[in-house]
Amino acid sequence: MIEQQTVSLLEVFEALDRGLTLVTGNNRLAGAIRQAFEQAAMNKGLEVWPTPHLLPWTAWLQSSWDEAVVSGALPDLLLTSQQEQRIWEDIIAQTVADQPLQQLTGTVRRAQEAWQLMQSWQLALDAAVFTYNSDSTAFWQWASRFEARCAEQGWLPLARLADELQRSIQAGALVTPAELVLIGFDELTPQQQSLLQALGSSGCDIRWVQLPGKESLAARIGCVDERQEAATVARWVRQRLDENPEVEIGVVVPELASQRDLMIQALDEVLVPNALNPGQQSVARPYNISLGSPLSEYPIISTALQLLSLLKPTISLEDAGRLLRSPFVAGWEQEANARALLDGRLRETGELQVSLSTLRYYASRTSQAYSCPVLAENLDAWVKAARDCPRINSPGTWSERFAGLLKSIGWASGRTLSSEEYQATEAWRELLGTFAGLELVTEPMTASIALALLRRLAGERTFQPQTGVVPVQVLGMLEAGGLQFDHLWIMGLHDGVWPMSPRPNPFIPLPLQRGAGLPHSSEARELQVSRIITSRMLTSAAEVVVSFPQRSGEEELRPSPLITDLAILDPEALRLWPAPTWRHGVHLSARLTPLQEDPAPPLEQVEVGGGSAVFKLQAACPFRAFAELRLGARALGQADIGLDAMTRGSLMHSVLEKVWHALVSHSQLIAMDATQLEALIANKVGEAIDAIANRYPQTFTGRFRHMEAERLCRQVLQWLELEKQRVPFRVVEREQKHAAIAGGVRVQLKVDRIDELADGRQLVIDYKTGEVMPGHWFGERPDEPQLPLYSMAVDGYVAGVLFAQVKAGGMAFVGVAEEKGLVPGVKSYEKLPQTREANSWSAVLRDWRATMDRLGDAFRNGEAAVDPKQYPVTCSYCELKPLCRINELRELDGESSNKEDQA
């Protein structure tokens, strides 16, 4: 057993000067020692110095293997972690083919970890031991097949590299270093000890060292919650950087994975507030976080994966929008605005899926504002490159194809890349190389399988851009092993996190794990390890602050029992940065600015598109009418599963128009027998669907078309049964346009239908597939001014205005008429509460005209007050609240009322 010694950093530097090999327990420590060694050389005035032989344990093993391969000592092929994972996947998928696992990837990962643990702790794969339960039995079968396949193919798994090096050393086939120093290891696994003993027996001088701890003033403090704790840490860091910019500060976060975003937000707000500015691409931060994010989450890589999805027949509307807005596709700088408009246009198509041909069609429409010629050209190049792709390829060939496709469409060339983005593209190229390496262990695959596998690899690959030398390091507990600082804050040490809870691997029998002392196997082991780490961390800086949140939601938290002996720190002694944060400063600087009333300029007689929308919006809220119809402020369209309500309504309109084109009159409807009528309806439904289906190719599948046709036939037949109950009439107009002028505003209205009664009077009918209420047509601000406008637009004597409510379970005529009995269920104006005071039908029509004139005048004269008819109901479906700031106005009105009440 190698004994651990304590040495100074200077002694470590002297050993490196002598050319010995220094092996560290983690990557972070290797980088810190290398940086300190180079700084010491520069302090001596040296301009050049030998590169130190300084490597983390895994990299040292890899380096030793490379040397052995060159010398011919190790003929086996060393597998990568991804290759091993693919082998495990194949084995496990084959053994559970009749009972597919819901989480295959998670099972594979835990099984792979179990096998690696067994190698590190030199545990035998004993069949008798692994009959412990069904999980361990299954693992024994998988592991046996894995080992057999590796032996058959001559593959060397990474977890057995140390064993293979040990055998080569013992056989005298490998040249060993004269001196080897280990630093930053809290413990050595049996496998590591065996390799080191073999090295020692071959004449290598091995030393296991640690740096001496610092004389530390450690204390603890409780914070309200995690957010306040992070904000306090950020102010503490800022104060020490202000006092000495050359200082080295460590922030250790046990649950860094879950608190990474919180820490970035807190540190950015205090250390680099300009990072919060919109559109900020790259900011030089004075801190580094040891835990990166999945490579797939970086925007430039996400764009690459979305572009490759164009190999599929369709992509989601959401992904298409992301591609159009991405700055990483060639031509973005020239076409950014047009591509944003194209995104909006695609949303108006009503389809949740977008094909490449659809995207290409709209991008190439040169007469439109959303025309994107560069994008269209790139899509053509993509189509040409994709045409040469065979259906099935090996991973190596797919890697080349993917790279070529991305190049053809101009990925990563939309604008100049930042340092972080450039590093991400390099990591992507390395990932393609890793993906190509799977060719050794997997069969050829289709494009969809290859892309899914590449996407998964990108999600599993943790990427952290290089930031250079920075004074602040944010680390997890294990990454901080062996590091020393001037100031150290260890946060989040409540009793639910520290000591760590046991997490035994489910595939290794628990008695075997605990007997061998495997990591995370028992409470006793976790307590022992946590004590060692805590003791080391508390002497890693001259100033050490340990904190814990006192609350998480409704749960009260207590300090870890491993820190309760520390002195409680007075908050006043923390010396926090006292200035307000950038966000707080903005709030403090807020001043109310009095603005002079600036009404919109009035218009002369004006024609407004959108039919009755101008009057409806003006009645609902004058500001909304002004913003939407004069400023063009509208929300982006939203697609839905299947057809949206508006499209379904349009389809029903089309069917009824075609049916009445054939029927013409009530008498012909009555004369037609049931079979003939059903055939007529089916024929017209087919025609209507044919006319619209080409606009929705992803929606109108064979099954959907059949279901939609059945629905339409059923509802139209039900509706015509109601039409049969009416007094005789004939249809004189269908879907004809009529102009209406009210208050100087001219609109074009498409009247669904005008029926003429036997006495020559007319009924104006508008189809509705939703529920309608007569009360919405009346008052100073009617919710539905459509029918009142129709009454103004139609020539001839109008005896009634009606909604034909064609709605499953609610077929009805809803409206108002001159007299009772003209249409089933429609009352005369004398029976409606809103019009019973009118002395004649003509008076009702005059009132409607007067109301429309007032609304038209208000719109034309620029009346645009933020005045919803009924707050907050009127605002429920309005997308302009951020523009009109109605909620803030209501808050200000409430504050003013409170002040008046107090006065």
The answer to whether the CB of 509 falls within 8 A of the CB of 182 is no
Average pLDDT over residues 863-877: 88
Closest CA to 801 of 836, 826, 821, 830: 826
Q: What average pLDDT is seen over the chain?
A: 89
In the prediction, which pLDDT does 296 show? 95
Average pLDDT over residues 261-282: 82
Strand-pair category, 293-294 with 567-568:
unpaired
Please state, as a whole number, how many other Cβ atoms lie within 10 Å of the Cβ of residue 728: 12
Average pLDDT over residues 748-766: 92
Q: Among 295-309, 543-557, 768-782, which stretch is predicted with the lowest mean pLDDT? A: 768-782
In the prediction, which pLDDT does 100 show? 61
Q: Could you give the dihedral angle defined by the CA atoms of residues 556, 562, 566 and 571, in that order, rounded to the nearest 10 degrees?
A: -30
Q: Is the pLDDT of residue 900 over 50?
A: no
CA 499, chain centre distance (Å):
34
- Residue at 836: amino acid letter: R
Average pLDDT over residues 259-287: 83
Strand-pair category, 543-549 with 217-223:
parallel
Please state, as a whole number, how many other Cβ atoms lie within 10 Å of the Cβ of residue 619: 24
Strand-pair category, 77-78 with 155-156:
parallel
More confident site: 898 or 775: 775
Burial class (CB in 10 A: 0-12, 13-18, 19+), 755: buried
CA end-to-end span of the chain? 83
The answer to whether the CB of 29 falls within 8 A of the CB of 481 is yes
In the prediction, which pLDDT does 1 show? 62
Average pLDDT over residues 664-686: 93
- Residue at 261: amino acid letter: D
Helices (H), 438-567: 447-460, 510-516, 523-537
* Cβ neighbours for 527, distance < 8 A, ≥ 6 positions apart: 499
In the prediction, which pLDDT does 193 show? 94
> Running DSSP on this structure, what letter comes out for residue 829?
G
- Residue at 181: amino acid letter: V
> Running DSSP on this structure, what letter comes out for residue 793?
H
More confident site: 2 or 884: 884
* Euclidean distance between CA atoms 9 and 31, whole angstroms: 14
pLDDT, tens only, 465-478: 887 789 999 999 88
Average pLDDT over residues 405-411: 94
Please state, as a whole number, how many other Cβ atoms lie within 10 Å of the Cβ of residue 333: 11
Q: Is the pLDDT of residue 902 over 90?
A: no
Return the biggest CA–CA distance within the chain. Answer: 119
Q: Is the pLDDT of residue 778 over 70?
A: yes
In the prediction, which pLDDT does 899 show? 44
Strands, E assignment, 743-821 = 745-757, 762-768, 798-805, 812-817
Closest CA to 165 of 84, 82, 57, 30: 57
* 290-322 burial: b if 16+ Cβ within 10 Å, else e: bbeeebbebebbbbbbbbbbbbeebbebebbbb
The answer to whether the CB of 393 falls within 8 A of the CB of 401 is yes
pLDDT, tens only, 526-571: 999 999 999 999 999 999 999 999 999 889 999 999 999 999 998 8
* Euclidean distance between CA atoms 492 and 557, whole angstroms: 10
In the prediction, which pLDDT does 281 show? 61
* Euclidean distance between CA atoms 826 and 358, whole angstroms: 46
Please state, as a whole number, how many other Cβ atoms lie within 10 Å of the Cβ of residue 608: 20
pLDDT, tens only, 226-240: 999 999 999 999 999
pLDDT category of residue 285 using cuts at 50, 70 and 90: confident
Average pLDDT over residues 118-145: 94
* Euclidean distance between CA atoms 698 and 795, whole angstroms: 43
pLDDT category of residue 74 using cuts at 50, 70 and 90: low
SS3 labels along 593-662? CCCCCCCCCCCCCEECCCCCHHHHHHHHCHHHHHHHHCCCCCCCCCCCCCCCHHHHHHHHHHHHHHHHHH
Cα torsion angle, 561, 563, 566, 567, sign? negative
The answer to whether the CB of 26 falls within 8 A of the CB of 56 is yes
* Euclidean distance between CA atoms 767 and 785, whole angstroms: 15
Closest CA to 709 of 734, 678, 751: 678
Show the CA angle centred on residue 44, arms to residues 38 and 48, nearest 5°: 55
In the prediction, which pLDDT does 280 show? 63
Cα torsion angle, 23, 24, 28, 30, sign? negative
* Euclidean distance between CA atoms 737 and 197, whole angstroms: 95
Closest CA to 785 of 740, 822, 840: 740
Cα torsion angle, 153, 159, 161, 163, sign? negative
Closest CA to 639 of 306, 303, 315: 315
* 473-504 burial: b if 16+ Cβ within 10 Å, else e: bbbbbebbbbbbbbbbbbbbbbeebbbbebeb
pLDDT, tens only, 25-35: 988 899 889 98
* Euclidean distance between CA atoms 636 and 345, whole angstroms: 9
Closest CA to 569 of 475, 489, 483, 495: 489
Q: At what angle do helices 645-663 and 674-693 cross, to 10 degrees?
A: 130
Q: What are phi and psi of 815, to 5 degrees?
A: 175, -160
In the prediction, which pLDDT does 892 show? 63
Average pLDDT over residues 518-531: 93
* Euclidean distance between CA atoms 739 and 611, whole angstroms: 9
Q: Is the pLDDT of residue 2 over 60?
A: yes
Strand-pair category, 729-742 with 762-768:
unpaired
pLDDT category of residue 903 using cuts at 50, 70 and 90: very low
* Euclidean distance between CA atoms 733 and 731, whole angstroms: 6
Q: What are phi and psi of 610, to 5 degrees?
A: 95, 10
Residues found in the chain: 903
* Euclidean distance between CA atoms 103 and 585, whole angstroms: 48
The answer to whether the CB of 330 falls within 8 A of the CB of 410 is yes
- CA distances for 612 relative to 143, 240, 499, 776, 855, angstroms: 72, 65, 68, 14, 11
